[in-house]
Amino acid sequence: MNSIPLTFSSWLNAPAHHQWLAAEGQRLLGFARAARLPEGFGDLDERGRLPSGARAGTMNTARMTHSFAMAHIQGIPGYAALVDHGIAALNGALRDGQYGGWFASPGQGDGNSGKAAYLHAFVALAASSAVVAARPGAEALLAEAIRVIETHFWSEEEGAMRESFNRDWSGEEAYRGANSNMHATEAFLALADVTQDPRWLNRALHIVERVIHEHAAAGDYRVIEHFDRQWQPLPDYNQEHPADGFRPYGTTPGHAFEWARLLLHLEAARCQAGMLSPGWLLLDAQKLFENACRDAWDVDGAPGIVYTLDWQQRPVVRQRLHWTHAEAAAAASALLQRTGEAQYETWYRRFWEFTAEHFIDPLHGSWHHELDSNNRPSAEIWAGKPDLYHAWQAVLIPRLPLAPSMASALAEVSRLGIV
């Protein structure tokens, strides 16, 4: 789907804004380099150091590999070796050589031997970006990630991903999650580009139809996060643990922004592939964005987007997380590209102004990952600064088309001399 030409002065067309985004990306990348460990990448603290006893994790290793691959694709020196290190870790210490798939940490060091769809989606994303970057070992990693997803996680009957299994693929969890399916949608868009197989775009559409067009639309476009095995909503899930970092109680506005952006990427990808694309993808994206802004911005009297809300749109966890604001800015830029409507320019600037004032840490580097309800740095949900992925993508997305997916788009614009 073609972008709509903007009829007003926009930051998306401003060379100085593009230069600022590029400089911020370089700053983020430089901070994240220190996360390297022998078995992958670990979690950095507030000052960009690896704590004593730090261990590599599959989530961070996959996200870092994906992120560093996109740096390498752009022609930024110094990241090829980091991509190769991530590929080696995902092909080695983090992989289950006996049963296949990936552990959360090397050798089940965290005591968890299960296999989670969320992690496998990120492995597939990392592998696809590494293939675009033409790094050794990436093709084998991608083939294995696809094999595991198709063998164990993808349910053609459900049109969605199963959630998790025991180590030997027995004991499937009686739960379905929107979060893991959201990141599977992101990975499937990348897989479609790298493999040139349109099945991945159809699978992404099936997920979106179920999670957003069926369930979120029925709830006035508020994303339902938790379901049972039959896809019946679980509105009280984790009510006793509302601040869970991956499965919080209630609704998560940051995911509404993330889904809104993914719907637009899917629409553009299907159009680019010559496939039919339902008109509701744009309409649903707009409604998700509109409600998230109305429900969660400045909802408790202070600027910023709260982490979670209950089903009456009251704040539950009032911390402001960096990834939420990164996704809000990215969604605003995508909607601005797609529609040319000035309201999205207003939100785009608002989100970046807030991020620059409160999240970006000019003293110690990277972004504060969490603020309290008074917008002061906090660490109740996320300690330190382990995440490159969300902020790095937020400074890339406004400079790229909606399709193809990010690594492929970077390769294309670099080839044409645009970036």
Give the single-character DSSP code of 7. Answer: S
Quick one: which of 328, 345, 337 has its CA closest to 390? Answer: 328
What are the contacts of 310-317 at 24+ separation with CB within 8 A?
310/249, 310/250, 310/251, 311/222, 311/235, 311/250, 311/251, 313/222, 316/242, 316/248, 316/249, 316/250, 317/242, 317/243, 317/248, 317/381
Query: Cα separation of 370 and 324, whole Å?
Result: 10
Quick one: which of 399, 384, 379, 385 has its CA closest to 329? Answer: 399
Q: Under a CB-based contact definition with an 8 Å cutoff, are residues 73 and 137 in contact?
A: no
Quick one: which of 295, 283, 287, 219 has its CA closest to 253? Answer: 295
Please tell me which residue in 255, 322, 368, 369 is annotated as part of the active site. Answer: 255
E-assigned strands of 281-380?
Answer: 320-321, 370-371
Q: Which amino acid is at 302?
A: A
- φ/ψ of 116, rounded to 5, equals -110, 135
Which tokens sit at 291? 């409600």
Query: Cα separation of 223 and 334, whole Å?
Result: 19
Q: Under a CB-based contact definition with an 8 Å cutoff, are residues 156 and 223 in contact?
A: no
Please tell me which residue in 226, 325, 369, 390 is annotated as part of the active site. Answer: 390
- Check residue 188 and give left, alpha or beta (phi > 0: left; psi -120 to 50: alpha): alpha
Q: Under a CB-based contact definition with an 8 Å cutoff, are residues 200 and 277 in contact?
A: no
213-222: b (≥16 Cβ within 10 Å) or e: bebbbeeebb
Q: Is 390 a catalytic residue?
A: yes
Query: Cα separation of 57 and 187, whole Å?
Result: 19
E-assigned strands of 342-403?
Answer: 370-371
Query: Cα separation of 61 and 103, whole Å?
Result: 12
Q: First vs last Cα of the chain: how many Å apart?
A: 21
**Catalytic residue ranges:** 255, 390
